[in-house]
Structure formats: structure tokens, C-alpha cells
């Protein structure tokens, strides 16, 4: 049987009624609906048999040669796969002559109009998916016999099933492919479409070997035969279905995530996690015992990959990755050699495990932490709200620039330029600019899906760029894209000596504002024109500090910059902001840091009394150091006036209002911050805490869930949801259960 584009022979789509034979009442059926008993009885029939010659001559009498076989506007060329309910052909569109794959329901399933109508609706929904790694559906049509069919791209590279043997020796390639598949599935989930039958045969490959996920949401129609709990294929490839839908639970994104893990397991181990003589046995194993360790079949595969797959194959759906995107990201981290999120055991994880073993003690400790960590995390996390349905034309996200420079220091430099441009744009009142934390998730510039980014961040436009620094020269390429339709608006190339690049960020911001038709007030224009320093070495240090991501190192770099240019107010202000942050992070030198922060803030203000960052720095000193909340609020007000798009400011303000018991103002400020920084998990979690204290249970739940959607491994909202059970439902048992559902091997992030 040819299965390169084959329909599923797994049981995942097997649903509905045991299907007794109408004639003999037997339940032993073939996928096509034929009854094995009746077929066998045919062997005893008295109608006689047709010899080869007779059979063929009668066959030829029927004037229905396959060469004249048409469905709608397609000529059927050959069958390339089949499943329980459907069949798939290679076909040619009559006028365009393009080759397509054409899938249709087999005639004898045309018994129910309702079924066909639903099949058609599903096909139409699947056809609306537009993603580079989802097999495009060209047309949903109806043949002369009234049966629906749909045509799609003909994937000529086979499928992961046919490619599996060759891929096995290339784990990186397997992971690369599955990361793409995971993101494609995440995209479909975001459109509300579940796949329900992910398995190697459904992941096709195009001519270049890139994956194309096929059959979104269609499996259940293509393989409808019977209820899994009642009727099972005695041999199929059921190793990819999650245990819970097989046991009757609703299908959820988590079940698709399980399948993704099982497929990767199969690619690396040469077999799915569970195998058995029949679907029932496979599903029972999957439900009853933990998935086998990948490395027991593929010892050469690293532990991290084993951990990622184990996470997908958790029996409890809640213990899996909370989204296919999170899985995709972890796979990318693995490829890039960065630490994965699903790491097994680390010190905080051990603490976490301890707390699960000692729930009473830990409960008390958590209750304390719950309140005290809030401010610290506010400072360390720049913080989300559901993006609005249609983003304003004047909204923009500055994505991480690609670094084409040769060393690490220069990569910080590239990141610094991006941050600098972002900060400059954030000063324009007429624009909405997404904050840094939210754009940092889009590190990789290859394969960015602009429409998806537009939706996730709630912006219309995206700025992309690349930086090459060689010696004393900087080459910067930037392009402005309307992300809603992937249309290029404007692009520019700058090739300058480093010394001449000072002020480039303001120049760029002005051009972007003009391209987006954003109004620039005279004082805004003046601020953008101002150069933060005139010393090119100090400026390089400043950009490197912006890009480094390590607060302590960055603070030192800013101070080195001020040593070179003592008039560098912005560097003082940034150093101060960092010191305030570090002082709240349980640093041993917190007192010294606070003092330093204050001195730096004051120096910045002395040098540049109207500098927004300097007011923000002083506001922070007053907030976390002196605890003079009203004075701090005044400083933040000035800062916000010069940098209206800086989410950080609104986060601090929300924190102060909370301390002052001004809950509504606090929530309003959190909401404003979330609109600018929608993918900041700490922010969303903290907003959830506000709602918790305000007893707004639905809003609390929404925030915690959203934080988990952004960061599936974020422990705190999980603990928060457990609290919610206690506070909202007075159900400590459910709370305890929630806590127990947190996987023991999770590595809580540093802000736990």
C-alpha cells in the first residue's frame, strides 16, 4: 500500500458507534465498513466465480476507464493513499495543469448528509489555515456524485513515516523538523483548530524536505468508523494518540502535544513509545504506565531531548507543555544549545520537590513568599494582556536584530542597538511600541511568521534588522514590515563609522515615525535628535551594556562608560535602575546598591534634568529604597510623560498603588503595562495577584492561565491556581491536587 500521502491508518480518528453489520449483526468490520463475516460467507455463495479472463472482459465492458476519471475540475491520475473513510489521489487541475493531491470520502460513507456537511465545514476551516508548515488546501469542492472532496498541495517528499529510517541518524534534523511542526500546530491551536491525529504519516515533506502538517481536524472524518472504547483496529499505528481522548476525555491541545512527543520519540528511537498487538493494548499501556525513557532505545541521544519528550508524554495532560509553541521553543533552545525549560532537576526544583513532600511547611513558606517576592519580581521582570483584535496602524514591535558580527561582545552590541531603537521609539506618544520582554521571545529571525507575531503582540508593524560590526564600522540593515499582510513598508541600510552611529537610533526612530505617519511633537523631535554622548567608546560600552542581559555586568559597563564620558547622564540613569533592581533581589550588598542607585540617579538628573530615564531611576530609589511612595509616583509621572510606551514605568506605578491599597488604580496601571508588554509572564502573573486580592476570580483565573500560556513551566501561577481553589471554592483538597499536579521535576525559573 502506498502511504506517502496516505490517510491515517491509526485509530486516532476512530470514533462513533460500534457499527453492527445490518445484515448479520456482526461487529467485526473492516475500515471500509465491510463486514468480515459477510465477506467470508461470500466464499460459500452459489453465484459462481469469475475466472481471470471472464472477470477482465466484463470489467472492460464498463466504460469508466480511470483515464477519464474526473472529480470537479481535476483529472484523477492515481491513488496514492487510503484510510478508513477516505482515499487520496494524485490529480491534475484541468486548466492550470498543476498537480495536486485530492482527498475524498469514499462512496459508501455517503449515508449521512449531516456527516458530509460537517466534513465539509471542517475541511473549510482547515483550508483557512495559512502557515508555511501546514499543507495548504486549495479548494473544497463537491463532485458530481454529491460527495465533498478537497484538493491540496502535492507534497512530493514523502512523509515522516517514509523518511523516518533515514532521519534516525540525524537527531538535530529530527528536532529541527519537529520544532517547525510544533509551531505549525501552535498556530492552528491559536485558530481554534485541533489536529487530533498527528502521526508520522500526516506530516508530509515538500521537495526541499520541509515539513507540511496535513489533515488538520479532518482525521475524525476520514477515519470515523467506531468508538475507540468499543471498537478497535487490531493493528494500526495507535502509538501516537494520547491516553485521555482514547479514554473518552475531550480532545485538547495537550493531546496534540502528546502526539508531537510520540512522533519525535519514534523518529529518534525507531518506534513509538508504546507498541502492541492491538490499539487497545497500546492505549492501556499509555494510560497505565509512564512512557519508556527515550534513551533506553536510543542511548546516544542526550538527556535534554529525553526530558523534552518525557514532558510531552506525561499521562496527565496538565503536566505536559502547556502549548505547542512552548514545545517548539524548547526544541529550538535545544538546537541552539541553550538550556531547555523542561530541565529535570535543579536546586529550585529540589526545593519544589521538598515542598511537595512537606506540603504544610511549604504552604506557610509559600504564603510568605507570595507577598514578599512580588516587588522583586516586578523589578527583575519587565512584564500582558490579550492583544486587541485589530491593532492600530501606528503600533510597532522592534524584533531582536540579527547579529552578523564575529564575536560575543559584538552580539551584545547588536542587541544594544535594537534596545536603543526600541527605547527611542517608545518616546513617541502617537505610537504604541511593544516593550522589550515581549519581543525577546522572537530571537530567531529565520522563519518568523509575521501574521502570528502581529496577533500575539497586538501590533500592525514589525521592525526587523541586522547588524554587522567589523572593527570601527557598523553596518545596519533595517526593514519595516506591515505584519498583518507581510508587506514591506520601508527599508534602509546604514554603513557608518562607530563614532558616526551615535544618534543613529533617534534618526531611525524619526524615519519610522514618518513611515507610520505618526505625529512628532517638537519636544519629541528634539529628544530624538539629542545625542546621549559624544564619546564613541563610551557609546559602544553603553550599547554593549544594553545588550548583555546580565545586570551586574551591565552596571559595570555603564560605569565604565561614565568614566570615559562623565557627562553621560543616560548611562548613570541606567546604572541606577539596575542597582535598584539588584538590591531587591536578595543581594548581600543590597544596602550599598541602594545607596549607589540613589547617587547615580541624582547625578543623572544633575546632568540632564529632563531626562525621562533619570526620573525613572529616582522614582525607583524612592519606591524600593526610601519607600516614599507619593514622591516616587511623581517621578514616574514625569518619566511616563517622556517615555509613554515604557511598560516598566506602569508596572512600578501599579506596584506602588497596590502597596497603598489603591487597587483599582493599580489594576488600571497593570492593564496599561500589559497592552505594551503582552508576552511578559511576570507582569501577567502579578496582575493576576491583584485580581486575586480583589476577589475578581474570573480575572484572576484568566491572568494565571495566560501567564501559563506564555510560560508553561512558570510555577507561580500554578501555585496561584491552587490558592484560588482555596479562596474561591473553599476546596483545599482541590488546591492540594493542583499542587500535586505540578511535575516534580520542573525547574522553577529564577523568580520562583
Partner 1 sequence: MVKSEAVTGVVAEPRVFATTRWSLILSATGSDADEQKKCEALAELCRTYWRPIFLFVSRHGHSIQEAQDLTQDFFVMILESDWLQQADEHRGRFRSFLLKSLQNFLSHAEERSRSVKRGGQLEFVSWDEWLAEAPSQLMLSAQTIESLPPEHLFDLRWAATVVEHALQRLREQCERKGRLRLFETLSGYLTSERGDVSYAGLAAALGIAETAVKKQLHNLRQRFRWLLRDEVAHTVENPADIDDEIRHLCVVLAAANG
Q: Which of residues 2-21 bind partner 1 (CB under 8 A)?
A: 3, 9, 14, 18-19
For residues 58 and 521, which CB has a smaller minimum distance to partner 1 in the complex?
A: 58
Contact (Cβ atoms closer than 8 angstroms) between residue 469 and residue 414:
yes
Cβ 545 to partner 1 shortest distance, Å: 55
488 CB burial (10 A radius; 0-12, 13-18, 19+): exposed
> Which one of residues 13, 16, 34, 594 is an interface residue with partner 1 (CB under 8 A)?
34
What is the rounded CA–CA span in Å between residue 52 and residue 17?
38
Nearby residues of 637 by Cβ (< 8 Å), 6 or more positions away: none
C-alpha dihedral, 404 to 408 to 409 to 412, nearest 10° = 70
Residue of 197, 330, 420, 713 marked active site = 197
For residues 66 and 495, which CB has a smaller minimum distance to partner 1 in the complex?
A: 66
Cell of 434: 511593544
Site for partner 1 in 164-203 (CB under 8 A): 164-165
If binding is defined by CB under 8 A, does position 124 make contact with partner 1?
no
If binding is defined by CB under 8 A, does position 33 make contact with partner 1?
yes
Cβ 30 to partner 1 shortest distance, Å: 4
Three-class secondary structure of residue 172 per DSSP: helix
If binding is defined by CB under 8 A, does position 115 make contact with partner 1?
no
For residues 236 and 261, which CB has a smaller minimum distance to partner 1 in the complex?
A: 236
Cβ 428 to partner 1 shortest distance, Å: 59
- Segment contacting partner 1 by CB under 8 A, of 35-43, 91-99, 567-575, 715-723: 35-43
If binding is defined by CB under 8 A, does position 37 make contact with partner 1?
yes
Three-class secondary structure of residue 276 per DSSP: coil
163 CB burial (10 A radius; 0-12, 13-18, 19+): buried
If binding is defined by CB under 8 A, does position 281 make contact with partner 1?
yes
> Which one of residues 16, 69, 210, 587 is an interface residue with partner 1 (CB under 8 A)?
69
429 CB burial (10 A radius; 0-12, 13-18, 19+): middle
Cβ 178 to partner 1 shortest distance, Å: 19
If binding is defined by CB under 8 A, does position 39 make contact with partner 1?
yes
- Segment contacting partner 1 by CB under 8 A, of 104-112, 412-420, 423-431, 637-645: 104-112
524 CB burial (10 A radius; 0-12, 13-18, 19+): buried
Q: Which residues of 438-456 are buried (b: 16+ CB within 10 A; e: fewer)?
A: bbbbbbeeeebbbebbbbb
> Which one of residues 108, 209, 485, 626 is an interface residue with partner 1 (CB under 8 A)?
108
Contact (Cβ atoms closer than 8 angstroms) between residue 617 and residue 579:
no
- Segment contacting partner 1 by CB under 8 A, of 29-37, 533-541, 547-555, 593-601: 29-37
If binding is defined by CB under 8 A, does position 394 make contact with partner 1?
no
Give the 3-state DSSP-derived string for 654-694, with helices as H, strands as E and coil as C.
HHHHHHCCCHHHHHHHHHHHHHHCCCCHHHHHHHHHHHHHC
What is the rounded CA–CA span in Å between residue 290 and residue 298?
17
Rounded (5°) CA angle 473-474-476: 155
If binding is defined by CB under 8 A, does position 207 make contact with partner 1?
no
> Which one of residues 15, 76, 399, 431 is an interface residue with partner 1 (CB under 8 A)?
76
For residues 52 and 300, which CB has a smaller minimum distance to partner 1 in the complex?
A: 52
Q: For residue 551, give the H/E element and its range.
A: helix 551-564
For residues 73 and 392, which CB has a smaller minimum distance to partner 1 in the complex?
A: 73
- Segment contacting partner 1 by CB under 8 A, of 269-277, 470-478, 584-592, 677-685: 269-277
For residues 147 and 557, which CB has a smaller minimum distance to partner 1 in the complex?
A: 147
- Segment contacting partner 1 by CB under 8 A, of 270-278, 358-366, 463-471, 689-697: 270-278
Cell of 193: 483548530
Cβ 293 to partner 1 shortest distance, Å: 14
If binding is defined by CB under 8 A, does position 1 make contact with partner 1?
yes
> Which one of residues 17, 40, 447, 549 is an interface residue with partner 1 (CB under 8 A)?
40
> Which one of residues 17, 30, 563, 729 is an interface residue with partner 1 (CB under 8 A)?
30
Cβ 53 to partner 1 shortest distance, Å: 9
For residues 161 and 718, which CB has a smaller minimum distance to partner 1 in the complex?
A: 161
Is residue 197 annotated as part of the catalytic site, yes or no? yes
Site for partner 1 in 344-383 (CB under 8 A): none
For residues 170 and 486, which CB has a smaller minimum distance to partner 1 in the complex?
A: 170
- Segment contacting partner 1 by CB under 8 A, of 66-74, 191-199, 307-315, 581-589: 66-74
DSSP string, 628-649: -HHHHHHHHHHHHHH-TT-HHH
For residues 47 and 250, which CB has a smaller minimum distance to partner 1 in the complex?
A: 47
C-alpha dihedral, 738 to 742 to 743 to 749, nearest 10° = 180
Residue with cell string 500526516: 202
Q: For residue 257, give the H/E element and its range.
A: helix 253-269
C-alpha dihedral, 584 to 419 to 555 to 372, nearest 10° = 0
Contact (Cβ atoms closer than 8 angstroms) between residue 151 and residue 100:
yes
For residues 111 and 250, which CB has a smaller minimum distance to partner 1 in the complex?
A: 111
What is the rounded CA–CA span in Å between residue 655 and residue 355?
28
For residues 58 and 552, which CB has a smaller minimum distance to partner 1 in the complex?
A: 58
> Which one of residues 5, 12, 15, 35 is an interface residue with partner 1 (CB under 8 A)?
35
> Which one of residues 252, 278, 466, 741 is an interface residue with partner 1 (CB under 8 A)?
278
If binding is defined by CB under 8 A, does position 280 make contact with partner 1?
yes
Strands annotated E in 54-207: 70-71, 74-82, 86-93, 99-105, 137-142, 148-153, 203-205
What is the rounded CA–CA span in Å between residue 13 and residue 7?
11
- Using alpha carbons, list the distances in angstroms from residue 726 to 259, 373, 686: 34, 21, 19
Cβ 14 to partner 1 shortest distance, Å: 7
Contact (Cβ atoms closer than 8 angstroms) between residue 135 and residue 212:
yes
**How many of the other CB atoms lie within 10 Å of CB of 139?**
16
If binding is defined by CB under 8 A, does position 66 make contact with partner 1?
yes
Contact (Cβ atoms closer than 8 angstroms) between residue 434 and residue 446:
no
> Which one of residues 93, 106, 507, 511 is an interface residue with partner 1 (CB under 8 A)?
106
Interface mask (CB under 8 A) for partner 1, residues 210-239, using x and -?
---------------xx--xxxxxxxxx--
What is the rounded CA–CA span in Å between residue 668 and residue 619?
19
Cβ 298 to partner 1 shortest distance, Å: 15
End-to-end CA distance of the chain, in Å?
53
> Which one of residues 117, 275, 289, 521 is an interface residue with partner 1 (CB under 8 A)?
275
Site for partner 1 in 41-60 (CB under 8 A): 41-52, 54-56, 58-60
Site for partner 1 in 684-743 (CB under 8 A): none
Cβ 282 to partner 1 shortest distance, Å: 8
Site for partner 1 in 138-157 (CB under 8 A): 144-145
Alpha helix segments (H runs only) across 399-515: 408-425, 436-439, 450-457, 504-515
For residues 229 and 534, which CB has a smaller minimum distance to partner 1 in the complex?
A: 229
Site for partner 1 in 524-583 (CB under 8 A): none
Site for partner 1 in 420-479 (CB under 8 A): none
If binding is defined by CB under 8 A, does position 113 make contact with partner 1?
no
Number of residues in contact with partner 1 under rule CB under 8 A: 85
Cβ 16 to partner 1 shortest distance, Å: 12
> Which one of residues 16, 27, 477, 731 is an interface residue with partner 1 (CB under 8 A)?
27
Active site residues: 197
Amino acid at each position: 500500500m502506498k502511504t506517502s500521502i496516505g490517510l491515517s491508518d491509526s485509530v486516532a480518528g476512530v470514533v462513533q458507534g460500534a457499527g453492527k453489520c445490518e445484515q448479520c449483526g456482526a461487529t467485526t468490520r473492516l475500515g471500509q465498513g465491510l463486514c468480515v463475516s459477510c465477506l467470508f460467507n461470500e466464499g460459500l455463495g452459489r453465484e459462481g466465480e469469475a475466472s481471470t479472463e471472464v472477470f477482465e472482459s466484463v470489467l472492460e465492458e464498463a466504460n469508466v476507464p480511470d483515464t477519464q476519471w474526473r472529480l470537479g475540475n481535476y483529472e484523477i491520475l492515481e491513488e496514492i493513499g487510503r484510510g478508513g473513510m477516505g482515499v487520496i489521489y494524485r490529480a491534475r487541475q484541468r486548466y492550470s495543469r498543476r498537480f495536486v493531491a485530492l482527498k475524498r470520502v469514499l462512496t459508501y460513507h455517503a449515508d449521512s448528509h449531516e456527516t458530509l456537511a460537517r466534513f465539509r465545514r471542517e475541511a473549510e476551516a482547515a483550508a483557512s489555515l495559512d502557515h508555511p508548515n501546514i499543507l495548504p488546501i486549495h479548494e473544497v469542492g463537491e463532485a458530481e456524485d454529491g460527495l465533498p472532496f478537497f484538493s491540496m498541495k502535492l507534497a512530493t517528499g514523502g512523509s515522516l513515516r517514509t523518511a523516518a529510517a533515514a532521519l534516525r541518524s540525524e537527531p538535530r534534523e529530527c528536532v529541527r523538523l519537529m520544532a517547525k511542526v510544533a509551531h505549525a500546530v501552535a498556530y492552528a491551536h491559536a485558530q481554534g483548530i485541533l489536529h487530533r491525529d498527528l502521526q508520522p504519516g500526516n506530516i508530509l515533506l515538500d521537495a526541499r524536505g520541509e515539513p507540511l502538517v496535513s489533515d488538520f481536524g479532518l482525521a475524525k472524518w476520514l477515519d470515523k468508523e467506531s468508538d475507540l472504547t468499543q471498537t478497535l483496529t487490531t493493528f494500526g499505528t495507535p502509538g501516537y494518540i494520547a491516553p485521555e481522548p482514547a479514554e473518552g476525555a475531550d480532545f485538547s491541545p495537550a493531546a496534540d502535544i502528546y502526539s508531537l512527543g510520540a512522533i519525535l520519540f519514534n523518529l529518534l528511537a525507531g518506534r513509538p513509545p508504546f507498541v502492541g498487538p492491538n490499539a487497545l493494548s497500546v492505549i492501556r499501556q499509555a494510560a497505565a504506565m509512564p512512557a519508556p525513557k527515550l534513551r533506553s532505545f536510543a542511548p546516544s541521544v542526550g538527556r535534554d531531548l529525553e526530558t523534552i519528550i518525557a514532558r510531552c508524554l506525561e499521562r496527565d495532560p496538565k503536566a505536559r507543555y502547556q502549548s505547542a509553541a512552548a514545545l517548539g521553543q524548547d526544541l529550538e533552545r535545544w538546537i541552539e544549545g541553550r538550556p531547555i525549560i523542561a530541565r529535570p532537576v535543579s536546586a529550585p526544583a529540589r526545593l519544589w520537590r521538598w515542598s511537595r513532600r512537606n506540603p504544610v511547611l511549604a504552604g506557610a513558606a509559600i504564603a510568605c513568599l507570595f507577598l514578599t517576592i512580588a516587588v522583586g519580581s516586578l523589578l527583575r521582570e519587565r512584564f500582558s494582556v490579550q492583544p486587541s483584535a485589530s491593532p492600530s496602524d501606528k503600533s510597532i514591535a522592534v524584533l531582536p536584530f540579527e547579529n552578523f558580527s564575529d564575536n560575543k561582545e559584538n552580539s551584545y552590541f547588536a542587541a544594544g542597538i535594537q534596545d536603543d531603537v526600541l527605547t527611542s521609539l517608545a518616546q513617541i506618544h502617537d505610537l504604541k511600541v511593544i516593550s522589550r520582554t515581549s519581543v525577546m521571545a522572537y530571537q530567531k529571525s529565520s522563519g518568523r511568521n509575521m501574521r502570528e507575531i502581529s496577533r500575539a503582540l497586538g501590533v500592525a508593524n514589525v521592525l526587523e534588522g541586522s547588524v554587522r560590526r567589523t572593527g570601527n564600522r557598523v553596518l545596519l540593515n533595517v526593514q519595516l514590515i506591515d505584519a498583518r499582510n507581510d508587506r514591506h513598508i520601508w527599508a534602509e541600510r546604514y554603513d557608518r563609522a562607530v563614532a558616526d552611529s551615535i544618534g543613529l537610533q533617534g534618526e531611525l526612530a524619526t524615519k519610522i515615525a514618518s513611515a507610520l505617519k505618526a505625529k512628532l511633537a517638537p519636544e519629541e523631535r528634539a529628544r530624538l535628535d539629542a545625542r546621549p554622548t559624544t564619546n564613541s567608546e563610551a557609546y559602544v560600552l553603553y550599547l554593549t551594556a544594553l545588550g548583555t542581559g546580565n545586570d551586574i555586568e551591565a552596571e559595570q559597563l555603564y560605569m565604565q562608560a561614565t568614566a570615559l564620558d562623565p557627562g553621560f547622564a543616560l548611562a548613570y540613569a541606567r546604572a541606577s535602575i539596575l542597582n535598584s533592581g539588584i538590591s531587591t533581589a536578595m543581594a548581600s550588598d543590597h544596602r550599598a546598591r541602594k545607596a549607589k542607585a540613589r547617587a547615580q540617579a541624582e547625578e543623572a538628573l544633575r546632568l540632564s534634568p529632563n531626562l525621562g530615564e533619570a526620573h525613572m531611576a529616582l522614582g525607583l530609589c524612592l519606591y524600593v529604597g526610601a519607600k516614599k511612595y507619593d514622591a516616587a509616583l511623581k517621578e514616574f509621572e514625569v518619566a511616563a510623560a517622556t517615555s509613554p510606551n515604557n511598560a516598566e514605568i506602569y508596572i512600578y506605578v501599579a506596584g506602588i498603588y497596590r502597596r497603598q491599597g489603591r487597587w483599582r488604580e493599580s489594576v488600571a496601571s497593570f492593564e496599561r503595562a500589559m497592552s505594551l508588554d503582552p508576552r511578559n509572564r511576570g507582569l501577567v502573573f502579578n496582575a493576576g495577584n491583584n485580581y486575586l486580592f480583589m476577589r475578581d476570580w474570573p480575572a484572576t483565573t484568566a491572568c494565571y492561565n495566560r501567564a501559563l500560556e506564555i510560560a508553561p513551566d512558570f510555577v507561580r501561577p500554578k501555585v496561584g491556581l491552587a490558592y484560588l481553589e482555596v479562596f474561591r471554592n473553599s476546596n483545599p483538597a482541590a488546591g492540594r491536587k493542583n499542587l500535586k499536579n505540578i511535575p516534580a521535576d520542573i525547574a522553577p525559573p529564577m523568580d520562583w
